[in-house]
Amino acid sequence: MPNFFTDNKDLIFQFERLDLKEVVQIAENNYEESKKYPYAPTNYEDAMENYRKVLEVVGDIAGNYIDARAGEVDTEGAHYKNGEVNYASGTVENLKQLSKADLMGMVLPRRFGGLNFPTSIYMMATEIIARADASLMNIFGLQDIGEMINKFGDESQREEFLPKFCTGEYTGAMALTEPDAGSDLQAVKLTAYQDEKGQWFLKGVKRFITNGNADVHLVLARSEPGTKDGRGLSMFVCYRDKSVVIRRIENKLGIHGSPTCELQFNDTPAWLVGKRKFGLIKYVFDLMFRARLGVSAQALGISQAAYEEALKYAKDRVQFGKSIYNIPAVTNILLDMRTTLETNRTLMYAAGTAVDIKEKLEELVEKNKAEGKNDTELNERLKSVTKFANFVTPLAKYILTESANKITYDALQIHGGTGYMKEFRVERLARDARITNIYEGTSQLQIVAAIGGVLGDILKDMFDKKEKKEYPGGLARLSEILKEIRVIFYDSLKYVVDKKDVSFQDIAAKDLVELYSYIYTGWLLLDEAEVNERKKFIANRYIIESLANARKNAENIKNELFSDILHADKILI
């Protein structure tokens, strides 16, 4: 019987390398939670064992049930009829099983029926689910909505919504985008207004809303009349009652099991979440940490599934009297896929840990404020951790989602013509992967989000420390290559800065971010290679290839590849 956790040796490797001691200690209130809840962990080892057991349950459900239904879910899709949306029958069964296993409130507090797990563990569960059915992740992965209410809502809102999120009775949706406000959320027009009693109501249209048929919606709305920018936006929560009309669902390329809806809010009663005017500038930005991670985990799960399909097919398919697995050109593609898959997982859970630390330090700071305390050292550490999380989450989203498209492309290529046929699941994986580098911020927007950290050399201290370390054997050679890439990066960065051309900097940002990612990921891989012999192969291929890519990135920047943008109107006829 397949288990999508226990059969994934690299995921187990990453799980066992997680360093969540501080995160768990804060989450468990110095393990005082165990005095209230007999199933809460009594120490860190107990917590990690609990996490492992739950991930095994997720792996069992994903491997034996969700995966088996995924093809039918894709074919059937979500249904829209008479203004209502119904999930595919397989999706309904999947959600029942996940709810029965108490997996729909993984990050929510125990007092509401949740598991109180760290984000990193939740992301591992998300990866496992996405490997089985990427579209289901879009429903399972919206637990962040409950977390947003828990973090910024008041106690009455928590009591109103969170218990039924945890039981699976409620599913959620983030109603952010509109017909004229996609990536540019400052342009949101849907209005929020109050009656004479202070009750809020929502009026307007939202588009491209994942799981828009959900029971509970977080809605970004313009609460300040006369404003046109992000400072006039607030966050609201509402039920999807009769005043919320589902106008249609989109006919999409992939993730068919996840309904994407256009919604019309007709004076819908709502509650303000947090403070007015903070909807975009604080709450959406905070939500993006977890949303970016969620899509990164989804992309990673799709990548794992595509790799598994390609490897199996390559071993089974015989041409020219031998398995195509033994044809060097095919073997090389598989090696590239495996290397990318594992390096992406390393980056993924480095980002997940960063978000975990950030969020738990925020809890400590808020607790101090409530008690009238001011811990300057803690405040400064939170600022530093937040800057790093602001950098590494868009970096992970960019790298992992672009990689998922490449891995699924290569997986289909290994299948040849058969991979283009509906009978083989690899074509579904290729379709599902395509959305990952679009929603929750396109790849281009992830570059915009990450470039500030790159220009500020946010990881300078880490890189300096790594360069002083002496690595054993062949790893020493790889460390020298990383030093060489860093020289290439600084040379390219200086060239961009010295030009003092904002437009050129915008275009060169992609190459600069990629250069920086090679260095950061490379050092992470060297650390892994020190403790795992097999990881030396992964580090070797990644770092050597990164040097070649770094030289290309530098040539793009320094040889004026982008100068023709000035003549775009003449070229683009």
Task: Assess whether 237 and 135 both reside in one domain.
Answer: no
Rounded to whole angstroms, how far apart are CA atoms 145 and 165? 9
Q: Are residues 141 and 177 in the same domain?
A: no
Answer positive or negative: Cα dihedral of 532, 535, 539, 541.
positive
* DSSP letter (8 states) at residue 521: H
Q: Which CA distances in Å does 497 have to 5, 339, 455, 552?
A: 46, 33, 9, 19
| Helix residue spans in 434-473 (DSSP H) | 443-455, 460-468
CA distance 398 to 419: 26
The residue from 451, 486, 503 where one domain ends is: 451
13 and 154 housed in the same domain: yes
Q: For residue 142, how many other CB atoms are within 10 A of its CB?
A: 24
Residues 182 and 166 in one domain: no
In this prediction, residue 397 carries a pLDDT of 98
User: What CATH number does the domain containing 176 carry?
Assistant: 2.40.110.10
Q: How many angstroms separate the CA atoms of 17 and 517, rounded?
A: 21
Residues 308 and 427 in one domain: yes
Burial (CB count within 10 angstroms: exposed 0-12, middle 13-18, buried 19+), residue 16:
exposed
Query: Tokens for 353?
Result: 């840990």
The bridge status of strand 216-222 relative to strand 84-86 is unpaired
Tell me: do 155 and 195 sit in the same domain. Answer: no
Scored b (16 or more CB within 10 A) or e, 406-417 reads ebbebbbebbee
Question: Left (φ > 0), alpha (ψ -120 to 50) or beta: where does 411 sit?
Answer: alpha
pLDDT of residue 566: 85
Q: Specify whether 480 is located in the same domain as 513.
A: yes
Q: What is the pLDDT of residue 560?
A: 83
- Is the distance from CB of 345 to CB of 14 less than 8 angstroms? yes
**Is the same domain home to 42 and 103?**
yes
Determine the residue type at 432: D
pLDDT 10s digit of each residue in the chain, 573 long?
A: 899 999 999 999 999 999 999 999 999 999 999 999 999 999 999 999 999 999 999 999 999 999 999 999 999 999 999 999 999 999 999 999 999 999 999 999 999 999 999 999 999 999 999 999 999 999 999 999 999 999 999 999 999 999 999 999 999 999 999 998 888 999 999 999 999 999 999 999 999 999 999 999 999 999 999 999 999 999 999 999 999 999 999 999 999 999 999 999 999 999 999 999 999 999 999 988 899 999 999 999 999 999 999 999 999 999 999 999 999 999 999 999 999 999 999 999 999 999 999 999 999 999 999 899 888 999 999 999 999 999 999 999 999 999 999 999 999 999 999 999 999 999 999 999 999 999 999 999 999 999 999 999 999 999 999 999 999 999 999 999 999 999 999 999 999 999 999 999 999 999 999 999 999 999 999 999 999 999 999 999 999 999 999 999 999 999 989 889 889 999 999
Total residues found in the chain within this entry = 573
Q: Active-site residues: which are they? A: 440
Q: What is the pLDDT of residue 463?
A: 98
Q: How far is 39 from 58, CA to CA, in rounded Å? A: 18
Which CATH number do you get for residue 163?
A: 1.10.540.10
Range of the structural domain that residue 565 is part of = 459-571
Domain count, the chain: 4
Task: Please list, in sequence order, all residues whose beta carbon lies within 8 angstroms of the beta carbon of residue 56, skipping any fewer than 6 positions away.
Answer: 3, 5, 6
257 phi/psi in degrees, rounded to 5: -75, -10
Hey, what are 536's tokens?
Answer: 């030396």
Question: Which of 451, 481, 506 lies at the terminal end of a domain, its last residue?
Answer: 451
Tell me, yes or no, whether 542 and 497 share the same domain: yes
Q: Please indicate, yes or no, whether residues 391 and 534 belong to a single structural domain of this protein.
A: no
pLDDT of residue 183: 83
Residue that terminates a domain, selected from 117, 150, 170: 170
Amino acid at 40: A
Asked if 289 and 150 sit in the same domain, the reply is no
Burial 80-93 (b: 16+ CB within 10 A, else e): beeeebebbebbee
pLDDT value at position 288?
86
Same domain, 484 and 566: yes
CATH number at residue 410: 1.20.140.10
